[in-house]
Amino acid sequence: KIICGINAAQYLSGLTLKLLTYEKFLSDAPAWRDKVVLVQRCIAKGDRCLDEKMTLREVRVVVDRIMKRFGHEVIDFEEVSSVPIEKRLAMWKVSDCFFSTEIRGGLSLWPMEYVYVNGSKECPGVLIVSEFTAACSILNGALRISPHDLNQTLKTLDRALNMPIDERQGRSLRDIEWVSSSSAASWIQNVIRDLKDSSPDEEAPDDKATLPSKAMAVSEFLKTQRDERFTRLNPSSVLSAYKSTSKRVIVLDFNGTIVIKEAVDSFLKRSQVGSAGDGPPQAAYAALEKLCLDDNNTVFVISGDMRQAIESSLGNIKGMGLASSNGSCFSPPTKQAARSWLALDIASNWEEVKKKAIQIMSKFTALTNGSHIKLAHSSIGWSYFDCDPEWGSLQAKHLVLELEDQLARFDVRFVNLKGIVEVMPREFNKGVIVTKILRDAASRNNGVDFVLCMGDDISDEKMFTSVM
């Protein structure tokens, strides 16, 4: 196996930490000593004399120690003034792992080159990048390390060298399309466009300098409210009311309520994030089937997802009503195998809103690897759930500000929850479909004597208020 790396002879390049890690790896894993080699180039340009002198002194000591302990064949180290692109590409092509341990780094193009060169290989190489570099934020297929955490770095290096082909290919596919389409020319065009969009003469007045505080999240509300002001749901009371009534309406949120949803982790870059499964747990699915068998129940599940997602998870439950896109599209309860879907009317100028929103979101998609645009009947979403958590959250905040500015004349609202920024008509929310469900049930059954409405976040508050 070949591990490759190119670092400047500077303290912030983390080269000494890399060599110490490699030395420890050879010491702890004797089986790898005759199976691995580190090809390392150290660039010394002479422009930071003191830093280079101290770094080279440390590096040479560690390199000499590695050669004496494990032999010259375990490391190919060379000090150079530069590494031409043809030599870099040759290194990337033959290596099995790109190893970066920078303590602080900007946007280096070398990891992008590595992704591009390895994109056509049957067994692509694996990137190990420092969390203190920009590449860590934009390359979703890379393994993330903290150079200061020796044990974690050792485990990551061992994982990279032992990684199976299918995982290597999967990680390469996460980044190759974005890297291949993000040329220097497109980057320049984006910068020029941003410069043209910004106007130094239009400064915000002082009274708008401080943005209004966002609505308190439901979890924060539950933490701060006293017991006398917020009453927990009593399951026994719910069961008693259920058994004593016969005209029941049950409305449930989908993601986070009956389907387990992982939060967007703000500190840990995961290999996979999102729903913890394709559908609800088996026990929840069985409970929904049982509720729908009772003709006295009107059961609806409302989701912010597109129709295909909720239908594939719950569409086979007979007697269940489904609503997608926050209720703009819905399928009434049916005992038939084939479902019919209806749609509510939305804003008349929605096509104009969609055109402007997609233009803005496309710009952020080009700058944020792993993000994508989701189009629903009554909403336009920019998903950053699969992005680097820190970078995705930061981009989402900037996106909301730009959307608010560009769509100020339209009657729309913006929601940033669960790893997605959504634009939707201001007057449209889950409460609209809940009101329709209750009205239809009352008309059909000559009234409603039991309503159970369940959700998990602030986007479900409109459902609750429409019931009251």
Give the model's pLDDT for residue 211. 39
Which three-class secondary structure state does DSSP give residue 159?
helix
What ranges make up the beta strands (E) of 81-200?
97-99, 126-130, 143-145
Q: What is the mean pLDDT of residues 367-383?
A: 83
Question: Does pLDDT of 69 surpass 80?
Answer: yes
Question: Does pLDDT of 293 surpass 50?
Answer: yes
Of these ranges, 83-87, 130-134, 172-176, the one predicted with the greatest mean pLDDT is 83-87
Alpha-carbon distance of 444 to 463, in angstroms, equals 21
Any idea what the Cα angle at residue 334 is, between residues 331 and 338, rounded to 5°?
A: 75
For residue 427, the one-letter residue type is E
For residue 272, what is the DSSP state?
-
Which three-class secondary structure state does DSSP give residue 365?
helix
Question: Does pLDDT of 26 surpass 90?
Answer: yes
pLDDT tens figures, 156-167: 999 999 999 999
What ranges make up the beta strands (E) of 191-259?
248-253
Which contacts qualify for 288-291: CB closer than 8 Å, 24 or more apart?
288/258, 288/314, 288/317, 288/320, 289/317, 291/250
Nearest CA to 435 out of 415, 462, 459 is that of 462
Which three-class secondary structure state does DSSP give residue 353?
helix
Q: What proportion of the chain, given as a percentage, has pLDDT over 90? A: 39
Neighbours of 133 (CB within 10 A): 24
pTM across the whole model: 0.49
Q: Give the containing element (helix H, strand E) for 265.
A: none
For residue 237, the one-letter residue type is S
Confidence of residue 120 (pLDDT cuts 50, 70, 90): confident
Contact 324, 307 (CB under 8 A): yes
What is the phi-psi region of residue 345: left when phi exceeds 0, alpha when psi lies from -120 to 50, beta otherwise?
beta
Residue with more model confidence, 265 or 35: 35
Strand-pair category, 420-425 with 372-375: unpaired
Alpha-carbon distance of 429 to 415, in angstroms, equals 11
Question: Does pLDDT of 382 surpass 80?
Answer: yes
pLDDT tens figures, 176-216: 888 888 777 777 777 777 677 665 554 444 444 343 344 44
Residue 78 is encoded by which pair of tokens?
Answer: 């060379």
Give the model's pLDDT for residue 288. 93
The number of residues making up the chain comes to 468
Confidence of residue 24 (pLDDT cuts 50, 70, 90): very high
Q: In what order do the strands lie in the sheet with 97-99?
A: 75-80, 37-43, 2-8, 97-99, 126-130, 143-145
Neighbours of 146 (CB within 10 A): 15
Instruction: Please state the three-class secondary structure of 305-335 as a single string.
Output: CCHHHHHHHHCCCCCEEEEEHHHCEEECCCC
Alpha-carbon distance of 365 to 371, in angstroms, equals 6
Q: What is the mean pLDDT of residues 411-427?
A: 85
Phi, psi of 280 (to 5 degrees): -70, 160
Residue 276 is encoded by which pair of tokens?
Answer: 């913890």
Residue with more model confidence, 232 or 81: 81
Give the model's pLDDT for residue 40. 94
Residue 452 is encoded by which pair of tokens?
Answer: 């159970």
Residue 206 is encoded by which pair of tokens?
Answer: 């002082």
Give the model's pLDDT for residue 272. 35
Contact 7, 13 (CB under 8 A): yes
Which three-class secondary structure state does DSSP give residue 140?
coil
Question: Does pLDDT of 266 surpass 60?
Answer: no
Strand-pair category, 143-145 with 126-130: parallel
Question: Does pLDDT of 113 surpass 80?
Answer: yes
Tell whether the torsion through CA atoms of 151, 100, 392 and 420 is positive or negative. Answer: negative
358-393 burial, b if ≥16 CB within 10 A, otherwise e?
bebbebbbbbbbbbeebebbbbbbbbbbbbbbbbbe
Residue 410 is encoded by which pair of tokens?
Answer: 């339209």
Residue 13 is encoded by which pair of tokens?
Answer: 């390049």
Residue with more model confidence, 405 or 308: 405
Contact 319, 335 (CB under 8 A): yes
Residue with more model confidence, 52 or 223: 52
